[in-house]
A and B are shown apart, each in its own frame.
Chain A
């Protein structure tokens, strides 16, 4: 089965700076790599995903990069804003179920 490791567990950045969260996975057959954001009192919500035939995908201030050789993918948030404060999970699927990373609590300092 898929083993997922996510780093760091907590991250505090100054508003306007960038944040990077990394995730490693074990299953070389994985071909879909999503990131979920969980805000207080809500369930996880997909914010960006990438498929294995692409090395990078960007959507406004967020981007995901994939290194299939090294088996890791990263979430990049630029120009961070207070509303970016949340817990972020990498969540590669294994068959139809999601394997969640341990989560990164991102705090944005004013």
Chain B
């Protein structure tokens, strides 16, 4: 069974440009999460989808970030316009259940560098 996949693995862009990250969850997982780790900080929750609906987007830093999950399958996270402080590693995870105590399976992450 394929795990969570993310694309691209690395992205280097200039400040002000737009970047779109993609996540393909494990097949059959209704729950999809985005997290990020910026330099020197903890891994922080961004948002949670249940199928195509946003269940919790309390971690989204500002309106430059837009997450979508059309059709309830893969998800995209767009940063527009990117700022220097957006640099970090963006992780996607998926799970079958959503209550606390359900294992989340993580992808390898996308390393974003904003110059």
Which residues of chain A are near B35, meaning CB under 8 Å? Answer: 98, 100
Contact across chains for B100 and A46 when beta carbons are under 8 A apart: no
Question: Closest residue of chain A to B104, judged by CB?
Answer: A98
Within 8 Å CB of B104, what residues of A? 46, 98
Q: Does B44 belong to the interface (CB within 8 Å)?
A: yes
Interface string of A68-110 (1 = CB under 8 A from B): 0000000000000000000001000111111111110000000
User: Chain A residues with Cβ under 8 A from B103's Cβ?
Assistant: 34, 46, 49
Which bucket holds chain B's interface residue count? 20 to 34
Residues of A in contact (CB 8 Å), total 25
- CB of B30 to closest CB in A, whole Å: 11
Closest to A46 in B: B103
Which of B12-20, B60-68, B105-113 lies at the interface with chain A?
A: B105-113
Q: Which residues of B approach A to under 8 Å, CB–CB?
A: 4, 31, 33, 35, 42-45, 48, 55-56, 59, 91, 93, 98-104, 106-109
